Amino acid sequence: MAALTACIFATVLCGFLGIIFKRNLMMKIISMDVMSTGVIAVYVLIAARGGLHTPIAAESNGYAYADPVPQAVILTAIVIGFSIQALMLVGVMKIARDVPTLETDEIEGLK
């Protein structure tokens, strides 16, 4: 469990460092996606517990049920992350049409 936690936090850290240090806009978008995936994996790791039953049941026999709210939050985060990534890619496409490069230093120098 500790190794899985370390790998997930390394994924978040790699994505964060990629956003900060990469100068290409496409690499920044990919880094943001990697970081988003890591954050969702952290949330799933925290919410995952063994011995729980599905909350869809006709009878309540005193079982411990899984909370469906974290699952709904994760699905919402995935959909919002996908739509943000699509919006950023459209923005990069519009920039690429006007400017011959995607390097942030050169784009800032042109303005």
pLDDT in tens, 23-33: 999 999 999 99
| Containing structural domain, residue 42 | 2-49+67-110
| Strand locations in the chain (E) | none
Count of domains observed in the chain: 1
**Residues with Cβ within 8 Å of residue 82, at least 6 apart in sequence:** none
pTM: 0.80
Give Dmax over CA atoms of the chain in angstroms.
68
Hey, what are 34's tokens?
């990697």
Residue 43 resides in a domain: yes
**CATH number of the domain residue 17 falls in:** 1.10.287.3510
Residue 28 resides in a domain: yes
Residue 61 resides in a domain: no
Please state the rounded mean pLDDT for residues 56-83. Answer: 80
User: Which amino acid would we find at residue 54?
Assistant: T
